[in-house]
Structure 1
Amino acid sequence: MADSLRLATFHTELEREGPGLLLRDIRRGDDPQVLAVVAVIARARADVIVLQGIDYDMDLLALSALRDSIARKGLAYPHLFALRPNTGMPTGLDMDGDGRTGDPSDRQGYGAFSGQGGMAILSRYPFDTARLQDFSGLLWPDLPGALLPSRDGAPFPSAQAQAVQRLSSVGHWVVPVILPSGPFHVLTYHATTPVFDGPEDRNGRRNHDETRFWRLYLDGVFGPAPSARFALLGAINLSPSEGEGRKAPLLALLSDARLRDARPRRPASLRPDPSRRADPSLDTVDWPSPGPGPRRVDYILPSADLILRDAGVDWPASGAALAEVETASRHRLVWVDIDLP
């Protein structure tokens, strides 16, 4: 007998400009973006869904309110999980080399306030939090082979800043979910954008190492790692073949024999675009002009022992459903159906 499981990841872009504002918007019940996000999540009917871009509060009030709104659409998530993210966490230092302190870019992860744009998990099944692994506090210099930025031969922005800089821009979690047949491990993170920096390529290098962390983890560098019944989900913020960024760690993950790439696709049939190197049916985000446009940047990579049944990207071709997903987020929900022997 096998457990069947639908996994999903969705960068909701539910960040707000100040603490408590997301909770206000959810409770108000008429915010167009919140209503669209709820509808997209409810339509996907995932058993376990990882969310990015959702503001964190210590008592998980906003996440609970979102969960309750989804329940009113007929989809119950009795179990929710979130930890304080690195976004907005003060450092007291100049972390981007502009000579100022206290800006959003001077936090452990970019954020106007502590918790802005965090991560969360909603699940039909309970979490085994006693066996949680949270690597969000790992210092970037402590990552073996860290690709740290420098300028004119000196650590950028300073040796002092590098000494306290965490690797995770948001977080790196390994969260066991207890299924009827036993534990299933959710490996998740939200990597920084690889752009919006200078020639030192601080963001590009950090994105590179945030992704490279996972192969080191699976190699056992940070302690015991699952060898089966797991999946890596999240917003990697990088396309394997288009745009800027250091692609080697992502390509290594996609070709790692311990993982499987289901290559989730949009349901609409799309013609190849000769101006692009990538298959447009694999896109998971549409950054409008003057942004880079559509890209594949959100991923679900199940472990190789799992049986892949189906996969997709929630990107309708037209009509009300398309308007709904566009109102919800520039990103699209990605899902994968698996069987666990």
Structure 2
Amino acid sequence: MTPRVTRRSALVAAAAAGIGLPSAAAAAQPAAAHAAHAGNDKFQNIRVATYNISLNRPRQGQLLEDLATGEDAQIRAVAEVIQLNNPDIILLNEFDHDDEGRGVDLFRRNYLEVPQNGTSPAFYRYAYTGPVNTGVPSGLDLNRDGTVGGPDDAWGFGEFPGQYGMVVLSRYPILTEQVRTFQNLRWADMPQNLLPTEFYGPEISPQLRLSSKSHWDVPVQIGSSVLHVLAAHPTPPSFDGPEKRNQRRNHDEIRLWADYLRPGKTSRWIVDDAGTAGGLDPSAAFVILGDYNSDPVDGDSWPGAIDQLLNHPRIQDPTPRSAGGAEAAQLQGGANADHEGDPALDTADFNDAPSPGNLRVDFVLPARSLQVASSAVYWPAQGTPGSELTGTYPFPTSDHRLVRVDLQMKTA
């Protein structure tokens, strides 16, 4: 996309396959960036973040209405969290998708680019969003209740197409024409998968899509280098029966990225929505972002689900921490008292009963080839600045916390 393309024409032209569009307000702004690595202008400090912002609404079009006002309290608080953390690249989970991309534009213009509670505005010149499987009717009885229709029979659970969608915002150019999406990849195509074929039967099993939302490989140009943003939001490993179909799907959605990062035969089965097969080049820089709904120690995940990434030879885990997570687990007790994981690593407050307690489910996982400068979970302790934005149930923003990692990226 070039600066000559208007925002409206870009939206219309790109709506069907995914949208990469510039912000009109940010177009006049220089691309914001963190200071270059001291004494070496060949490196750039890049802050990368993931944030499940819970901007899903029960009715199609309702989020657009809330975004248009500029006055929605939850959206303003979410924007303030983003402004305070000031990432250069951020994945937003649970942002209802619309085919024209109006929601992304309204969020930037009416909330992020407006000072919230005295914070500095955040400008993101580039954005990418695309269709997801949530709420898209399958025409099949996926929950095996004898009827067809409703959120349980969509390719991904949802009341309407696009609910719980995703957005990537960036201050650096997104190479939109090189984005790879995996919305239509079949679960049965994964070798040695965990698909419960006895539950779904021989007619449905071959048709099931693997990704409950979508998986995206979004290349971002940073100087002369490219950073591949691997974005996803696997289904929660809950809300199913003894067949454990959601546990199994969560595991295999996570495995998709694990295979994608292994060259040769292991990734040969992966075919993107444009028909191109294979995984990511072994020399490519990448960062995995998203709410993966899987804790490495606690919760209801299929055994070893997130470990497929945490123990991957190409991936490093910066283990971002917070003071608020540790404090919340102690104050709330309940299921948290029985957890084995370090509560300072938690990224989601799931303590409202009945619940699995607070968990680490949101991840920023860079390639081992990248230098990590720092990392954090934005979960301030009670009584400290920003704690009013995370709060307790019912949350002013989201039950998830923003997770960020600062990387030193070679740019020349």
**Normalising to structure 2: TM-score of the pair?**
0.79
Deviation at 1:146, TM superposition (A): 1.5
**CA deviation map 1:124-180 (0-9, x unaligned):** 011112211111110110112111114xxxx32332222221000001110100111
Mark the CA change 1:269 to 1:18 in structure 2 (over 3 Å): closer, same or farther. closer
Partner of 1:210 in structure 2?
253
Does residue 323 (structure 1) correspond to residue 366 (structure 2)? The answer is no
2:346 to 283, 290, 296: 283
Q: Report the alpha carbon displacement of residue 316 of structure 1 after superposing the two structures with TM.
A: 0.9
Write the mapping of 1:1-341 to structure 2, written as runs, cut at 5 A: 1-68=42-109, 69-73=111-115, 74-150=121-197, 155-220=198-263, 221=267, 222=270, 223-227=278-282, 228-268=284-324, 270=326, 275-287=338-350, 288-319=352-383, 321-325=386-390, 326-341=395-410
Shift in Å at residue 303 of structure 1? 0.1
Would you tell me which structure has more strand in proportion to its own residues? 1
Q: Compare 225-234 and 170-179 and name the one that shifted more.
A: 225-234
State the alpha-carbon separation in 1 of the partners of residues 324 and 180 from structure 2: 38
Higher RCO (C-alpha under 8 Å, 6+ residues apart): 1
Count of paired positions: 337
1-side partners of 2:209 and 2:363: how far apart?
23
Q: Is the contact made by 1:238 and 1:247 (CA closer than 8 Å) also made in structure 2? A: no
| Matched-pair contact (CA < 8 Å) for 2:133–2:156 | yes
TM-superposed CA distance for 1:211, in Å, is 0.6
Relative distance call for 1:240 and 1:64 in structure 2 (3 A) is same
Task: For residue 270 of structure 1, report the CA deviation from its aligned partner.
Answer: 3.7
User: How much does 1:250 deviate?
Assistant: 1.4
Partner of 2:23: none
Query: Given residue 101 of structure 1, which amino acid in structure 2 is its aligned partner?
Result: V
Cα 1:201–1:297 change in 2 (3 A) is same
Other structure's SS at 2:386 match: helix
Check the 8 A contact 2:296/2:305 in 1, yes or no.
no
Q: Aligned partners of 2:144, 2:84: CA distance in 1, in Å?
A: 44
**1:276 Cα deviation after fit:** 2.1
In structure 2, C-alpha distance between the alignment counterparts of 1:269 and 1:111, rounded to whole Å: 29
Q: Does the 8 Å contact 1:229/1:340 carry over to 2? A: no
Q: Secondary structure at the match of 1:157?
A: helix
Structure 2 letter corresponding to 1:336 = V
Larger Rg, first or second structure (1 or 2):
2
Q: 1:6 offset after TM fit, Å?
A: 0.4
Aligned to 2:35: none
Q: Does structure 2 conserve the Cα–Cα contact (< 8 Å) formed by 1:237 and 1:297?
A: yes
Which SS does the other structure have where 2:45 is aligned? strand
Q: CA deviation at 1:308?
A: 0.5
Identity %: 39
Conservation of the 8 A alpha-carbon contact between 2:230 and 2:288: yes
Question: Structure 1: which 5+ runs fail to align?
Answer: none
- In structure 1, the residue matched to 2:32 is none
SS of the residue 1:200 aligns to: coil
Residue 137 of structure 2 contacts residue 153 of structure 2 at CA under 8 Å; is this kept in 1?
yes
Deviation at 1:84, TM superposition (A): 0.3
Q: What code does the residue aligned with 1:329 have? A: S
- Counterpart residue identity of residue 18, structure 1: R
* Aligned-partner Cα distance in 2 for 1:130–1:269: 39
SS of the residue aligned with 2:338? coil
- In the alignment, the residues of structure 2 paired with residue 126 and residue 41 of structure 1 have an alpha-carbon distance, to the nearest angstrom, of 19
Amino acid at match of 1:181: S
Distance 2:348 2:65 in 1: 27
1:301-328 CA-to-partner distances (Å, cap 9, x unmatched) read: 1000111000001101123622212311
CA distance in 1, matches of 2:234, 2:286: 19
**Equivalent residues of 1:285, 1:330 under 8 A apart:** yes
In 2, distance between residues paired with 1:24 and 1:185? 33
Q: Is the 8 A contact 1:3 1:181 kept in 2?
A: no
Instruction: Provide structure 2 residue ranges, at least 5 long, that are not aligned to the other structure.
Output: 1-41, 116-120, 271-277, 331-336
TM-score (norm 1): 0.95
Alignment RMSD = 1.6
Shift of 1:52: 0.4
Alpha-carbon deviations, 1:218-258, whole Å to 9, x = none? 11313141333211111110110002121323113111121
Task: Give the whole-Å Cα distance in 1 for the aligned partners of 2:241 and 2:341.
Answer: 27
